């Protein structure tokens, strides 16, 4: 099918983070996409031919069967043994992944579907891939890595259940080493069972292996998964002396058995590929328990990552054992520092700025949830052309492609973990698995994005009912904050919440949560509420994580003096006014939010609820294309680039 993309802990009064785009007291955070290289390994069939890379694209040559679109049961039993290598999948459909089967279905009103998910079904599906591996991999570590499967997945390798993963928005790796044949002849079968039991989401989720898949081959002596972390500590002070310190922490492991002396070589390259700093450690024993080394590299007169010039450096990490380079990992990062002050607002590289953000769900409109980098680039170019400089990944961890696009375009990010905690919002959402899996999933979120210069905030959740409970929510918030800070202390930890419309009672659950967090994102707050919160919590920074939720139709302007004019029902003229006067019941107008933000230096940003939608949320007009600043690539009339500068009247309440 051809797709035409044209249509289709301790509280800090000031948080400072230096790094590829981090934040924090005394530290920084890193750069971004990671790739690894090993010597060329010919002979893998059923995989893309980038064998020179340690991580090889594994997206082609899959077979797919949609077992049941309306239920997660195999009612005929025809696919009960689809995990077995001998199972005949010859009649299944050939697909490449990323793949979203829900977008291929017809809208179907009924059990489990509603307007919020575009009336598109989910159900049960199977994927299978057959491949062979050459003898040269017999002594290598082999694994497969999924960037994301929605939702509940089980992975089988040659008939053995190798992994189960219930969260649809975090990546995971499956070790294949002891389960695959590496004789160059015997086929291996990778089978993935995916179920999306609806309703599982408040917005369109898609279904299937909707993000990329990678075959990862390493030497037994290798850099651990997510084993490189780059920060730039004390950047503001060091820049005054003309340099930056790049701190590299590398975790490595030796799975050969026993110990062996291994050196770690860390090399920084500039944007043109020139080596500008390097360090080689003395050989030290490395065993199965692994080890973590830290080294500081110095960059003279660094070019900073910024909104207008998102300059990126490359760190090349090599492991040397027995006189040979046995593993190489490449990490992209940036040099920058960000400051979040409860009184002065947000600054990047010392320059105060307002963050003009959007909330974006992960789907790509008419293309569905399957990741297409070109479509993400197009989407974010439109956003940036409208003045957007910040993105909230509402309400889940983003794809690696979205991270890299924001890094390249100079868009800062609030990366969010969950839309629900222990208590579900819909019948079959992640709340069923939260208690058992949330520690691992939030850790995966942080590890996957910790080197990105674009990421400036970690969010532990959105509009969480549990956060109002002393018994349930307060312990969960404490645990999730600790999970994040166990990995990265260079960025603030926040929440997006609709439970701060008034100042909390002292000692209440919302009061306790606010005091544990570094910052609080408020959804649809009045100016008076924001001022009250600012006075009550002088050491906590506040920002608008959602500022307005409304509907409008491009080119339709009606009844500017009226509020909530509703939809024009005249045949052929159906639309809602773009005079910023059709609001959801819980929200204020975009103009109100923008003025409120403009007149308060301590507020960091105003974020309209959705930046780009083709699958509607429940509060949009009654058809599949709903709320958003952009529909079909066209801007709504309600907001425009530079709109902040045109709002001159003060906002007091």
> Could you read off the pLDDT of 109-126 as tens digits, one per residue?
988 999 888 899 999 999
Whether the pLDDT of residue 241 is over 60: the answer is: yes
Instruction: For residue 164, list its beta bridge partners.
Output: 154
- pLDDT confidence of residue 260: 96
- pLDDT confidence of residue 468: 98
- pLDDT confidence of residue 567: 62
Lowest mean pLDDT among 70-84, 392-406, 567-581: 567-581
Query: What is the helix (H) or strand (E) element at residue 288, kind and residue range?
Result: none
Q: At what angle do helices 400-409 and 434-449 cross, to 10 degrees?
A: 40
- pLDDT confidence of residue 639: 41
- pLDDT confidence of residue 633: 41
Lowest mean pLDDT among 274-288, 505-519, 538-552, 599-613: 599-613
Binned at pLDDT 50, 70 and 90, residue 588 comes out as: confident
Query: What is the helix (H) or strand (E) element at residue 294, kind and residue range?
Result: strand 291-300
Q: Where are the beta strands (DSSP E) in 140-242?
A: 141-146, 152-157, 160-165, 172-175, 188-196, 213-218, 221-231
Mean pLDDT, range 216-231, rounded to an integer: 98
Q: At what angle do helices 509-516 and 473-485 cross, to 10 degrees?
A: 10
Distances from the Cα of 15 to the Cα of 269, 341, 345, 351, 545, angstroms: 29, 6, 10, 14, 18
**Residue with more model confidence, 511 or 10:** 511
Strand order across the beta sheet in which 291-300 lies: 221-231, 243-254, 291-300
Place of tokens 């959804």: 523
Nearest by Cα to 490 from 158, 35, 18: 18
Longest CA–CA separation in the chain, Å: 78
- pLDDT confidence of residue 609: 53
The percent of residues above 70 in pLDDT, for the chain, comes to 83
Place of tokens 């569905």: 368
Spatial distance between the Cα atoms of 124 and 115, rounded to a whole number of angstroms = 21
C-alpha radius of gyration, the chain, whole number: 25
* Burial class of residue 42, CB neighbours in 10 A (0-12, 13-18, 19+): exposed
Lowest mean pLDDT among 12-16, 73-77, 533-537, 590-594: 12-16
Nearest by Cα to 177 from 146, 144, 132, 142: 142
Whether the pLDDT of residue 627 is over 80: the answer is: no
- pLDDT confidence of residue 39: 35
Instruction: For residue 143, list its beta bridge partners.
Output: 175, 216
- pLDDT confidence of residue 575: 78
Q: How many of the other CB atoms lie within 10 Å of CB of 57? A: 16
Q: Where are the beta strands (DSSP E) in 505-603?
A: 519-523, 541-546
Average of per-residue pLDDT values in the chain: 86
Task: Please write the tens of the pLDDT for every residue from 307-326.
Answer: 999 999 999 999 999 999 99
Whether the pLDDT of residue 6 is over 90: the answer is: no
Spatial distance between the Cα atoms of 628 and 594, rounded to a whole number of angstroms = 16
Query: What is the helix (H) or strand (E) element at residue 286, kind and residue range?
Result: strand 284-286
Nearest by Cα to 195 from 186, 203, 205: 205
Q: How many of the other CB atoms lie within 10 Å of CB of 458? A: 30
The catalytic residue positions are 463, 546
**Residue with more model confidence, 218 or 13:** 218
Instruction: Measure CA of the first residue to CA of the last residue in the chain; give whole Å.
Output: 53
């Amino acid at each position: 099918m051809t797709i035409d993309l044209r249509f289709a802990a301790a509280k800090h009064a000031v948080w400072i983070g230096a790094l590829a785009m981090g934040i924090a007291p005394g530290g920084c955070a890193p750069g971004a996409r990671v790739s690894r290289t090993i010597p060329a390994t010919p002979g893998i069939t059923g995989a893309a031919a980038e064998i020179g890379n340690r991580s090889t694209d594994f997206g082609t040559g899959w077979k797919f069967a949609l077992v049941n679109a309306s239920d997660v049961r195999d009612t005929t039993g025809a696919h009960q043994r689809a995990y077995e290598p001998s199972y005949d999948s010859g009649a299944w459909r050939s697909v490449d992944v990323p793949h979203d089967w829900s977008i291929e279905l017809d809208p179907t009103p009924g059990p489990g579907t509603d307007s919020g998910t575009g009336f598109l079904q989910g159900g049960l599906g199977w994927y299978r891939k057959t491949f062979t591996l050459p003898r040269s991999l017999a002594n290598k570590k082999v694994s497969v890595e999924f960037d994301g499967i929605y939702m509940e997945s089980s992975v089988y390798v040659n008939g053995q259940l190798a992994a189960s993963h219930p969260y649809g928005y975090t990546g995971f790796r499956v070790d294949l080493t002891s389960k695959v044949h590496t004789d160059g002849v015997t086929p291996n079968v990778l089978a993935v069972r995916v179920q999306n039991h609806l309703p599982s989401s408040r917005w369109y989720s898609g279904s299937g292996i909707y993000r990329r898949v990678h075959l990862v081959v390493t030497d037994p002596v290798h850099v651990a998964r997510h084993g490189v972390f780059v920060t730039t500590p004390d950047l503001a002070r060091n820049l005054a002396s003309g340099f930056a310190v790049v701190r590299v922490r590398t975790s490595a492991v030796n799975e050969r058995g026993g110990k062996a002396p291994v050196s770690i070589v860390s090399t920084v390259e500039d944007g043109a590929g020139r080596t500008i700093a390097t360090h080689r450690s003395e050989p030290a024993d490395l065993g199965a328990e692994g080890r973590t080394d830290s080294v500081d590299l110095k960059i003279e007169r660094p070019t900073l990552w910024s909104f207008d010039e998102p300059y990126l450096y490359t760190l090349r990490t090599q492991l040397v054992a027995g006189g040979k380079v046995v593993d190489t990992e490449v990490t992209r990062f940036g040099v920058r520092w960000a400051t979040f002050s409860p009184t002065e607002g947000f600054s990047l590289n010392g320059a105060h700025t307002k963050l003009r953000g959007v909330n974006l769900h992960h789907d790509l409109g008419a293309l569905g949830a399957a990741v297409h980098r070109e479509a993400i680039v197009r989407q974010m170019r439109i956003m940036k052309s409208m003045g957007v400089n910040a993105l909230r990944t509402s309400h889940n961890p983003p794809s690696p492609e979205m991270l890299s696009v924001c890094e390249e375009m100079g868009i800062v990010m609030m990366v969010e973990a969950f839309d629900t905690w222990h208590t579900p919002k819909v019948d079959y959402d992640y709340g069923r698995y939260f208690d058992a899996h949330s520690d691992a999933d939030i850790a995966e979120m942080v590890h996957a994005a910790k080197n990105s210069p674009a990421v400036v905030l970690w969010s532990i959740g959105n509009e969480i009912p549990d956060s109002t409970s002393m018994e349930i929510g307060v312990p969960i918030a404490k645990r999730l904050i600790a999970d994040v800070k166990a990995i990265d202390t260079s960025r603030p930890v926040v929440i997006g919440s609709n439970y701060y419309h008034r100042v909390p009672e002292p000692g209440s659950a919302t009061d306790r949560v606010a005091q544990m967090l570094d910052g609080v994102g408020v959804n649809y707050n009045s100016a008076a509420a924001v001022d009250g919160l600012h006075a009550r919590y002088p050491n906590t920074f506040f920002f608008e994580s959602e500022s307005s939720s409304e509907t409008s139709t491009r080119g339709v302007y009606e009844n500017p003096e009226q509020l909530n004019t509703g939809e024009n029902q005249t045949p052929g003229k159906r639309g809602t006014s773009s005079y910023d006067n059709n609001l959801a019941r819980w929200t204020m107008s975009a103009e109100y939010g923008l003025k409120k933000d403009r007149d308060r230096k301590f507020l960091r940003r105003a974020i309209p609820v959705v930046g780009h939608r083709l699958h509607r949320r429940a509060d949009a007009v009654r058809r599949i294309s709903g709320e958003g600043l952009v529909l079909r690539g066209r801007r709504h009339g309600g907001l425009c680039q530079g709109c902040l500068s045109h709002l001159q009247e003060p906002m007091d309440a």
